Amino acid sequence: MKIARFSRIGFILAAAGSAVGLGNIWKFPYIAGEYGGGAFVLVYLATVLLIGFSIMIAEMLIGYLGRRDTVTSFEVLAPRHKNFWKYGGFQGLAGLFIMIFYSVVIGWIFNYIVTSLYTLPATVNEAEKTFTTMLHSDFFTQLFYHTLSFIGITYVLNRGIKGGIEKLNLILMPLLMIILGGMFIYATTLGAFSQAVEFMFAPDWSKIDSEAFVIAVGHAFFTLSLGMGAIMTYAASLEKDSSLVKAAFWVVFLDTAIAIVAGLMLFTFLYQYGSGPAKGPGLVFISLPAAFYEMGILGNIFAVLFFLALAFAGLTSSVSLVEPMVQYFIDRFSWSRLRAAVAMGTFFWFLGIFAILSNIDGAKEYLTWGGKNFFDWVDYFTAAIMLPLGGLIMAIFVGFIIPRNEVEKVMRPQLKWAFNAWYFSLRYVTPVAMFVVMLSLMGVI
């Protein structure tokens, strides 16, 4: 069987499409708001540069050398103890878990694209009512759009790397950048732009505690799609002799730039027309639509375009979240693509129903434990535990397990003088940082 491969630009766009997702446009602004802005943003940026970039290269390298699904890649690259290391590849499961809530949120976005066409809430209170009514009592609307998202994602995955994933990204990523770029330029002409800059970049270190720190590190992983085999699976279909460093650079750059652009734009609109930097997951669904309302008909256009861009970002990430396990069943169990895509899709679709129910009045009581409902637990568990753990495993695997000469053969010509710094960071800096994050999560420190 001839294996379909990404073109070079296709790979960069697909990996960037994976990285740029709801994490950048929905999650990043609201957690930045929640943890006080500037200081949090700086911790996140530092993690992206110091740790994220080097793990991005490491994760690409495992896929690039392994050339197979994540589990097999770990297996063939471990010189000894294959049966132990292959479990590193099961990080791909994290993607399916993330999809449980990710697809539900994409569903909300679909719903907002449709309703923003003809109506926007006049006040924040009204917007809040619309959102919470959907969230707490409208099970069927959520189910309908969640199902639509499941169908779209499964359809693309079934079409494979070239005709599905690459094509989707070649179309949606440029559109996304044009929409956000255009809205950002408009935002820079508004008076409130400087307030947004100040909010995002002026650090108030008193707002950073160990929880904020852990969330910032976890988010850096989440937003770069690291630690769960998405990037690895894509890199397995990369042409030989491609530069991993260049690709990693572009992915990290685009991801960070889009998060900052989206954040600045949203906060500008919120300062200018709305209620200031709102907090919580409702930010883009509550405060933002009310701010758009103030802009008149332009607001409607902006709202539709914005939610479209958000949906594009979400869909390109979704396919990368599911593809590792699809690839796993194709490679290891010789499943057809159709069967693997439908089976994985059904998994997140089904559990997604419980994520919806965990917000619905009358059902949520049964799906809430320790102050978090099922939806929030999946989010917390994947972003704060599974992804850092996956990153830790990958750093150790490339740093200590794959024979050094194999790593050097590929990476030294690309990294040149920076090779030693990269290798050192993988072996010592990243594992220690990840370990501290985990201890603090477990409440040990």
- Comparison of 208 and 259: residue with beta carbon closer to ligand PHE: 259
Residue 320 CA to residue 234 CA, distance in Å, equals 8
19 binds ligand PHE (CB under 6 A): yes
Q: How far is the CB of 98 from ligand PHE (least distance, A)?
A: 6
User: Between 65 and 220, whose beta carbon lies closer to ligand PHE?
Assistant: 220
Site for ligand PHE in 127-166 (CB under 6 A): none
CB atoms within 10 A of CB 101: 23
Nearer to ligand PHE, 91 or 359 (CB): 91
- The answer to whether residue 321 forms part of the interface with ligand PHE (CB under 6 A) is yes
Which of 14-22, 112-120, 297-305, 420-428 is the region at the interface with ligand PHE (rule: CB under 6 A)? 14-22
Q: Candidates 46-54, 178-186, 285-293, 314-322: pick the segment binding ligand PHE (CB under 6 A).
A: 314-322
Residue type, 431: P
Of 176 and 367, nearer to ligand PHE (C-beta) is 176
C-beta of 28: minimal distance to ligand PHE in Å?
8
Please answer whether residues 330 and 69 qualify as being in contact, where contact means their C-beta atoms are separated by less than 8 angstroms: yes
Residue pair 4/237 in contact (Cβ under 8 Å)? The answer is yes
Is the Cβ–Cβ distance between 99 and 355 less than 8 Å?
A: no
Q: Should residue 317 be labelled a site residue for ligand PHE when binding is judged by CB under 6 A?
A: yes
The neighbour count for residue 93, using CB atoms within 10 Å, is: 19
Closest approach of Cβ 193 to ligand PHE, in Å? 24
Give the range of 19-27, 34-42, 282-290, 299-307 binding ligand PHE by CB under 6 A.
Answer: 19-27
The pair of three-digit structure tokens given for residue 370, joined into one six-digit string = 């320790």
- The angle at the Cα of 223, spanning 219 to 226, to the nearest 5 degrees, equals 95
- DSSP annotation of 166: I
Between residue 22 and residue 41, which ones bind ligand PHE under the rule CB under 6 A? Answer: 22-24
> To the nearest whole angstrom, how small is the minimum distance from the Cβ of residue 228 to ligand PHE?
5
Expressed in angstroms, the distance from the first to the final Cα of the chain is 52
Window of 5-13, 120-128, 150-158, 313-321 that interacts with ligand PHE by CB under 6 A: 313-321
**Residues binding ligand PHE: what is the number (CB under 6 A)?**
16
By CB under 6 A, name the one of 15, 16, 17, 21 that touches ligand PHE.
Answer: 21
According to CB under 6 A, which one of 47, 54, 72, 320 is a site residue for ligand PHE? 320
Side-chain-side CA neighbours of 385 within 13 Å: the count stands at 12
Distance CA 386, CA 380 (A): 9
Q: Given the complex with ligand PHE, which of 390 and 399 has the nearer CB atom?
A: 390
Which residues touch 38 (CB under 8 Å, ≥6 apart)? 198, 199, 200, 201, 202, 203, 204
- Does the footprint of ligand PHE cover residue 223 (CB under 6 A)? yes
Query: Which position among 6, 222, 285, 293 is part of the footprint of ligand PHE (CB under 6 A)?
Result: 222
95 binds ligand PHE (CB under 6 A): yes
Q: Report if residue 309 touches ligand PHE, rule: CB under 6 A.
A: no
The residue from 41, 93, 109, 228 that contacts ligand PHE (CB under 6 A) is: 228
Residue 230 contacts ligand PHE per CB under 6 A: yes
Q: Which of residues 98-117 bind ligand PHE (CB under 6 A)?
A: 98
User: Do the Cβ atoms of 319 and 56 come closer than 8 Å?
Assistant: no
Residues of this chain that bind ligand PHE (CB under 6 A): 18-19, 21-24, 95, 98, 222-223, 225, 228, 230, 317, 320-321
